[in-house]
Amino acid sequence: MSHCHCVNCRKAHAAAFSTNLEIHPRQLTFLRGKDSLRSYRTDSGSHTAFCTTCGSTLVCWGDGDPDPTYVCAATLDTEFHGKPEFHIFVSGRVPWHEIRDQLPRFERNSDDPI
Ligand SMILES: [Zn+2]
């Protein structure tokens, strides 16, 4: 699980960053409401899906992925005890948000350390 500071996540969540849980594409099963999902593709090639009933951004994935690879952790209804492990796309961080934890930070993806 990571905090993503990319512009797509910031805008989709109207927040300084989003906290996303990386999943294997086939790990995700929608129990209900899948018909309410709509997705869009950003200029940078990522895809984001949101619920047309409540407006929440729920999942996202890259152009090369056929299914969602990230779940927006704050939308989970079930109890989850995971903790964020690092920050990604710190290069896209808004200037008014200061990262104050000691988690590892990556300029872009987690294989690209600062
Ligand atoms: Zn992001």
Per-residue tens of pLDDT for the chain, all 114 residues: 999 999 999 999 999 999 999 998 788 888 889 999 999 998 888 899 999 999 999 999 988 887 788 999 999 988 889 999 999 999 999 999 999 999 999 998 877 666
Measure 1 CA to ligand 1 centroid, in angstroms: 12
For the chain, the residue count is 114
Mapped onto helix, strand or coil, the DSSP state of residue 103 is coil
Measure 2 CA to ligand 1 centroid, in angstroms: 9
Residue from 92, 86, 23 nearest 58 by CA? 23
Structural domains of the chain, ranges and CATH numbers in brackets = 2-89 (2.170.150.70)
Measure 19 CA to ligand 1 centroid, in angstroms: 9
Distance of CA 49 to the CA centre of its chain: 10
Q: Tell whether pTM > 0.85.
A: yes
Measure 6 CA to ligand 1 centroid, in angstroms: 4
Measure 109 CA to ligand 1 centroid, in angstroms: 9
